[in-house]
Amino acid sequence: MRKSAITGLATSALIIGLAMPAAAGPGSSISVRPGVVAAGNNVRITGSTPVSECPADDAAILTSTADLFPPDGFGPAVPRDSSGAFSTVYRVPTSTPAGTYQIGFRCGGGNVGVFASLRVTH
């Protein structure tokens, strides 16, 4: 029972840590195009956060649910340019259930606090 309680506390701490946004600086953004896509197709995800908030050499790590970014909800680490902007093409897994997903990103070890919506169809 004690091991289970410790595991539960560790899991709760991890979830809380992932949910806490870093300070989203003015000018932080993320977008996904198209906003509606069939599972198995590509989307372009773009965004930025000022280099004053997160050094340009820190990648943007996309986040959502494990259904969209298997196996753990963390998507690809996307390099950022000298202004803090990033862009990537991502293929939505064919196993992703239909629904609406929020996509965010982490930079410099914390959530930036901005989100874009993607609706996946079948």
- Minimum mean pLDDT among 10-14, 19-23, 77-81: which range? 10-14
Which pLDDT value is given to residue 14? 37
Tally of domains within the chain: 1
Q: What is the mean pLDDT of residues 17-38?
A: 73
Residue 73 above 80 pLDDT?
yes
Higher pLDDT, 3 or 115: 115
Q: What is the mean pLDDT of residues 102-122?
A: 95
Residue 67 above 50 pLDDT?
yes
Whole-number percent of the chain with pLDDT over 70: 79
Alpha helix (H) ranges present in 21-122? none
Tell me, what CATH number does 15's domain have? 2.60.40.10
Distance CA 11, CA 8 (A): 5
Tell me which residue range forms the domain holding 6: 2-121
Q: How far is CA 35 from CA 48, 62, 89, 98, in A?
A: 18, 16, 13, 13
